[in-house]
Amino acid sequence: MATIQWFPGHMAKALRQVKENIKQVDIVLELVDARLPESSRNPQLAQILQNKPSILVLTKKDLADSQTTARWVRYYESQKQPAIAVNSTTGSLKIIEEKIKQVLADKIALQAEKGILHKRIKVMCIGIPNVGKSTLLNHLVKKNVAQVGNRPGVTKSQQWLKAGKDMLLLDTPGILWPKFEDPMIGKKLALTGAIKETLYAKDDIALYLLEHFCQFAPAKLKEHYKLSESDLSLSTVDLLLLITKKIGFKDDYDKASERMILECRKGKLGRYTLDAVPESTQRYDG
Ligand SMILES: Nc1nc2c(ncn2[C@@H]2O[C@H](COP(=O)(O)OP(=O)(O)OP(=O)(O)O)[C@@H](O)[C@H]2O)c(=O)[nH]1
Ligand SMILES: [Mg+2]
């Protein structure tokens, strides 16, 4: 299978702007996709964040396996990285405001001692493309001020937004990193929609999808594509050809791959998490 290569071009500029603005914010919301919390975490950001208070926000929790998400959150908290999981398309995001105030409690108390009250908290929101940065900020602002869209690269430049009297929020363009050390990361990011579709071969990603679901959620695959038990032991290439026929695309497996990827993103194959929680946290189970 081909390795997805990503040359970040304009993302280098976006990264530079993050470095410039980090000094003037109180806290960073680092957004990752709950379906792949580690693979969607930009390794370049760790160095930039350093001692800046941050919260790891696992977005799209409605699409991820809920037990695994809970374990991921506990894992990060056990690593002293404050973390929460959210679905930004519904319900209240009060939980984020509360978490921000909790993480900054000492700083706010110190300011209060000095007589500084009601200082707006400056929050920067960062993460890979399409992870839901603008959606989450719109929720916090309670207005649709930031443009959102279900494709990577919607936000083109940084934008400050006011959220009530308490917070100032900075929306930023999604940033990927120049090279994925592990080609699986590219496949996971492509499957979940962080990479422009012109940059990967759809059949490669559909084959990855089949590999994952055959191993971790065969029942869902069987049910959705009306497969028999023996179909599941076919090679993934033969399975792709079979599904292509079953969904009426004859031998157009590129079109079938596109359909399968979109259905998977929409949750038609059920909730799934592509990244496994490190073994050490298994003890948290049950
Ligand atoms: N199911 C689900 N969809 C979400 C969630 N958050 C965001 N989305 C969807 O994800 C897509 C991308 O959202 P955006 O807010 O534009 O993402 P972004 O991170 O700002 O993307 P860029 O500006 O391209 O970097 C949109 O279709 C949102 O509706 C969530 O918690 N659950
Ligand atoms: Mg955006």
Ligand 1 binding pocket includes 63 (Cβ within 6 Å): yes
Ligand 1 binding pocket includes 15 (Cβ within 6 Å): no
Cα–Cα distance for residue pair 280/11, rounded to 1 Å: 34
The pTM is what?
Answer: 0.94
Closest CA to 67 of 41, 93, 34, 32: 34
Please compute the mean of the pLDDT values over residues 209-226 and round it to a whole number.
Answer: 95
Ligand 1 binding pocket includes 62 (Cβ within 6 Å): yes
Return the ligand 1 atom nearest residue 137 CA.
15
Model confidence pLDDT, tens digit, residues 262-275: 999 999 999 999 99
Cα–Cα distance for residue pair 85/34, rounded to 1 Å: 7
In the chain, % of residues over pLDDT 90: 74
What is the 3-state composition of the chain as percent helix, strand, coil, each rounded to the nearest 5?
45, 10, 40
How is the chain split into domains, by residue range? 10-171, 201-265
Tokens 């100032």 sit on residue:
168
What separation in Å is there between the alpha carbon of 42 and the centre of ligand 2? 16
Return the ligand 1 atom nearest residue 88 CA.
31
Identify the nearest ligand to the CA of 96 by its number: 1
Identify the nearest ligand to the CA of 159 by its number: 2
Closest CA to 4 of 126, 152, 132, 131: 152
Ligand 1 binding pocket includes 81 (Cβ within 6 Å): no
Tokens describing residue 50:
């350093």
- DSSP structure class, residue 285: -
What separation in Å is there between the alpha carbon of 154 and the centre of ligand 1? 10
Cα–Cα distance for residue pair 135/141, rounded to 1 Å: 10
The annotation status of 135 as a binding-site residue, yes or no, is yes
Cα–Cα distance for residue pair 52/184, rounded to 1 Å: 30
Model confidence pLDDT, tens digit, residues 125-166: 999 999 999 999 999 988 888 889 998 888 888 899 998 888
Of 7-21, 59-73, 168-182, least confident by mean pLDDT is: 7-21
Is 70 exceeded by the pLDDT of residue 18? yes
- Neighbouring CB atoms inside 10 A of 252's CB total 12
| Main-chain dihedrals φ then ψ at residue 193, nearest 5 degrees | 100, 20
Cα–Cα distance for residue pair 48/34, rounded to 1 Å: 22
Q: Which CATH class is domain 10-171?
A: alpha beta
Ligand 1 binding pocket includes 60 (Cβ within 6 Å): yes
Return the ligand 1 atom nearest residue 59 CA.
31
Please compute the mean of the pLDDT values over residues 79-90 and round it to a whole number.
Answer: 94
Radius of gyration of the chain (CA): 20
Report the side by side order of strands in the sheet with 27-33. 83-85, 54-59, 27-33, 121-127, 167-171, 159-163
Which residue has a Cα nearest atom 27 of ligand 1? 150
What separation in Å is there between the alpha carbon of 12 and the centre of ligand 2? 16
Please compute the mean of the pLDDT values over residues 12-40 and round it to a whole number.
Answer: 95
